[in-house]
Amino acid sequence: METSISGNTITYRPKPHFIKEMVIMGAAVIFFGLIFLDMARRIFLLKRRCKETVPAKILSIQKSKSSDGGLRFRYARSTARYRYEYNGQSYDSSNRLFGNPRALGSHGEGSTILIKIDPKDPRKVYDPFAASAMSSHLITAVMLILLGLFMIFGPFIVK
């Protein structure tokens, strides 16, 4: 940073190469934020398509690979596989969206819960894990985009 003193005012100006690096890193952070925003948008569109509510039996609950103790990841993510019937046909399906393990509440394997499915493609499932994943992706997207904007415009705000 360059410093200049004029009377009682001290002005700090970042060096040009610092600004260039911050703009590049800020743009990269915003790019990742937009990826998370797109993932949240896709889950939201799934939610809009899944209009039929059906009772489904939880066949299994799977934890994300990073939550199985290998890296001692505290914030485990989970998803479930379901069996349900729609229009006389039986389906085994999962949405492959990992969400907060508490999304199911007290329900576990073998329990029956209500899930929403897409009537045009009954294998598409919107469940509590999808809702949890959508909110996580949205929060992550907002935080990354704000951080990226701060990285880009922060050096210009410093006086």
Query: Where in the chain are the domains?
Result: 2-39+146-157, 50-141
pLDDT tens digits for range 88-111: 999 988 877 777 666 666 677 778
Predicted local confidence at residue 44, as pLDDT: 93
- CA–CA dist 143, 148 (Å, integer): 9
> Of 4-8, 83-87, 117-121, which gets the smallest average pLDDT?
4-8
Of 81 and 3, which is predicted with more confidence?
81
Give the confidence band of 42 by pLDDT, cuts at 50, 70, 90. Answer: very high
User: Does the pLDDT of residue 142 top 60, yes or no?
Assistant: yes
Instruction: Report the phi/psi class of residue 90: left, alpha or beta, with left for phi > 0 and alpha for psi in -120 to 50.
Output: beta
Q: What average pLDDT does range 66-86 have in this prediction?
A: 68
Overall pTM > 0.85: no
Q: Which is nearest to 33 in space by CA: 146, 149, 144, 154? A: 144
Predicted local confidence at residue 29, as pLDDT: 95
